Amino acid sequence: MSEKHVFKSELQQILNLITHSLYSHKEIFLRELISNASDAIDKIRFNSLQNDPLLEGDRDWKIRLVVDKEARTLTVSDNGIGMDHDALVENLGTIAKSGTKAFLESLKQADAAAKPGLIGQFGVGFYSAFMVADKVTVISRPAGAQGAMKWESDGLGEFTVDPAERAGRGTDVVLHLKEEEKEFLAEYRLRSIVKQFSDFIEHPVVIDADKGEGKTEEETLNSRKALWLRSKVDVTPEEHEAFYKQISDDYDAPAKVIHYAAEGTLEFKALLYIPKRKSWDLQFAEPKVGPRLYINRVQIMDHCEALLPPYLRFVKGVVDCSDLPLNVSRELLQHNPLLEKIQKSLVKNVFQALNDLRASEPETYEGVFKELGPFLKEGLARDFANREQICDLLLVGSLKTEAGRTTTLAQYVEAMPEGQQDIYFLTGEDRAVLEHVPALEAFRHRGWDVLLLTDPIDAFVFPTLPDYKGRAFKAADRHQPELDPEEKKKEEEAAEAYKPLLGLLKGLIGGLKDVRLTRRLKESASCLTSDEDAMDPHMERLLQKLGQ
Ligand code: ADP
Ligand code: MG
């Protein structure tokens, strides 16, 4: 009697959606299964660094594709870590990921080109097997265990788990292909899919290639190139694009490549990519922070958080360091002075690359900043040491820019007229509304520019910024332009003259803290303002929206 289980209900929905919305990209199932096999090999290799007997002598890492034309099955086999009963039930029967709902939503909305990437980003890759198979059998034997287990499902709502046999450690994923998906039995088809989607996978993907007259020979289908180990000039833009797409699940080329080898006291190779847009997982799923960490070509971690600060989570790539011991533990990696040094270098290079992009391809940079700017601004609030560098990268609208155009803070400071000491800004939801704020009149009159900031995060970040290039940040609706001595004198005289009138007005209109003469207004007769230390009204609205 088989042990029966029911898929969690959301899974059912996911299966339906995957099969229907990815109909024209069915071949990515192979990429997902190969990537799982590769992860499984990385895991056992990592564990074996501290427990070598676990391998039982088998360190011939391999992902094998096996075709059985008669049975109409395609099998993806690995000698990775394997799964026991509970792992099979847990990993292949439930989706524990928090972003599932968001995944479903984004899959519905995404344009066709983006869809294949979403599967990998949301970690539901295994289920893509049901796009081409009407039954999937998984036979797995964990490292160090004697017996194997068999998981089987038609993807319609239930799966079974039974004891089984398997010669060594690892996993076979057997796809019983649908009648109309026979093409995935053809060697040339498999070759081209592996080449297209899995070429940079580190472990060999092999097949028993048909050599004619009934003879076969094991052949490796992927080139396994480690681009980051090559010198910068030897990697073509096409290779970068292909590699970036494989590690990022993006469907577009990266906006900027960062490739360098650090030499001297600390040696490492870095190959990082800045994307053109924010990936879906950055918005909806648990973000994965940090590039992959390799030690001498051996992958240690998929995402090494110690290598980049969280606000740079949009950066994808690989860092290979030969100075770390191979048997380093994950705990040790958390607070490692070596990694801290590498992080410093990476951060510096990311800023440099963004600056280069801004200078050399302003239009591309504008697009990138629209997507990634909020992450950089998050850095303003968290990474005090790099504030100035992040400020250099900001693009902001201002009174003097046309709607939709931007300036940099450096340009703003450069263009400040004589007499202006500080950087003035105003935050709000909408530029058109901000333009009509009465407080701006005095600035217009003097020819002083004011930053008009409409990104929601601006209201949280800018009021906390101390200065840029020695110029303080000031909210334009609380701080009026400073006066020269002559103006000051005039103002004091006027205040004296109007004192009785102001007193009278304050008495007439209830609920006001004070009635003052202002030099803010040139055209309006009066305006309401808040105290310099009171909460900014825009911020008050934002907080209200957040339920504070
Ligand atoms: P993800 O790979 O993003 O975690 P998948 O749906 O592709 O999501 O796989 C789900 C889980 O199933 C994996 O995290 C892993 O624990 C397990 N798994 C899948 N394939 C294998 C395999 N070949 N060997 C070992 N574990 C596997
Ligand atoms: Mg996967």
The pLDDT value recorded for residue 536 is: 67
Is 78 annotated in some ligand binding site? yes
Summarize the confidence of residues 263-268 as an average pLDDT.
Answer: 89
Q: Any idea which ligand is nearest the CA of 170?
A: 1
Whether ligand 1 lies within 6 angstroms of the CB of 196 is answered as no
Question: Which of 61, 91, 141, 203, when mutated, tests ligand 1's pocket best, judged by the most ligand atoms within 8 Å of its CB?
Answer: 91
DSSP state of 80: S
Q: Is the ipTM of this complex over 0.85?
A: yes
pLDDT band at 125 (very low <50, low <70, confident <90, very high): confident
Beta bridge pairs of residue 274: 256
Kindly report the CA angle at 46 between 125 and 295, in degrees rounded to 5?
100
- Of all atoms in ligand 1, which is nearest to the CA of residue 92? 12
d(CA 404, CA 396): 10
On whether the CB atoms of residues 247 and 317 are closer than 8 A, the answer is: yes
Helix locations, 259-386, DSSP H: 280-283, 330-334, 337-360, 362-382
| Exposed e or buried b per residue across 104-143, where buried means at least 16 C-beta atoms within 10 angstroms of its C-beta | bebbeebeeebbbbbbbbbbbbbbbbbbbbebbbbbbbbb
Q: How many CB atoms lie within 10 A of CB 56?
A: 12
Coil, helix or strand at residue 244:
helix
Is 121 annotated in some ligand binding site? yes
Is 98 annotated in some ligand binding site? yes
Kindly write down the DSSP assignment for every residue of 130-159, as one continuous string. GGTEEEEEEEEE-TT-S-EEEEEE-SSSEE
d(CA 195, CA 206): 12
Distance of CA 32 from the midpoint of ligand 2 (Å): 5
Quick: pLDDT tens for 334-382.
778 889 999 999 999 999 999 999 999 999 999 999 999 999 999 999 9
Beta bridge pairs of residue 48: none
The pLDDT value recorded for residue 96 is: 45
Nearest by Cα to 204 from 322, 291, 77, 119: 77
pLDDT at 99 over 60: no
Beta bridge pairs of residue 137: 152, 174
Distance of CA 409 from the midpoint of ligand 2 (Å): 43
Whether ligand 1 lies within 6 angstroms of the CB of 177 is answered as no
Summarize the confidence of residues 128-142 as an average pLDDT.
Answer: 94
d(CA 76, CA 66): 7
Coil, helix or strand at residue 320:
strand
Residue type, 438: P
Whether ligand 1 lies within 6 angstroms of the CB of 15 is answered as no
Nearest by Cα to 409 from 429, 426, 430, 423: 423
Quick: pLDDT tens for 162-184.
999 999 999 999 999 999 999 99
